[in-house]
Structure formats: structure tokens, C-alpha cells
Amino acid sequence: MNRQRKNQESLGQVIERLLDAYKLRSGLTEISIQSEWTNIAGPAIASRTDQVILRGSKLIIRLSSPALRQELHYQRDQIKQNVNDFLGRNLIDEVLLQ
């Protein structure tokens, strides 16, 4: 009775296939980054972030402070690493500050 048929998949496998088939993975990843942005970037940066957008392998961060934008320009590699660590894979190739 514990036999599995060859055409059976686990629920996780089915969900993964659906995410790919309907191209939902990117949207879910973006929502995940947005919801955890305070933990990823820290409260000081998160409080002055207007929007975080994921477009392919680019992370676009819209900031309310030009001074913070200039300061973060030199920390883009660290932000990229923090987001990739959070995601558990190297998805982000570039961080754009606006």
C-alpha cells in the first residue's frame, strides 16, 4: 500500500512546476524580498526606501533620500550579497539605486 505510482509527484514538485509554467516565481520572489526588506537592508535603510522592485536579475531600489542613494552606491555589492543570501541562491546580478 505504500507504493507510489510512477506518475505521482509530491505537492512541492507540482507547485514548483506551476510556478514555472505560469511565470509566478519572479513575483513571489519580489514579494518575499519586499516583506523582509527591513531584515535584509536594516531598519535605517528600509525606513527611507520607497520601493523595491525585482526585474529579472536586477534589484531596483527607489529611495526617498538623495544622500542615502549616494551612500548606498558604494554598498551595492553588499546589498546584492545580502539579498542573494536571503534567497539562498545567486539571483541578483545588479543593484540599481533610484
pTM of the model: 0.78
- What residues does 36 pair with on adjacent strands? none
Residue 92: predicted pLDDT: 95
Residue 45: predicted pLDDT: 92
Report the distance separating Cα 36 and Cα 34, nearest Å: 5
pLDDT digits (tens, 9 = 90+) for 50-93: 999 999 999 999 999 899 999 999 999 999 999 999 999 999 99
Three-class secondary structure of residue 42 per DSSP: coil
Residue 12: predicted pLDDT: 86
| Residue 5 pLDDT greater than 70, yes or no | no
For the chain, domains (ranges, CATH) are: 11-97 (3.30.300)
| Residue 26 pLDDT greater than 90, yes or no | no
Grid coordinates in use for 20?
A: 514555472
CA distances to 5, 80, 88 from 2, in Å: 10, 45, 33
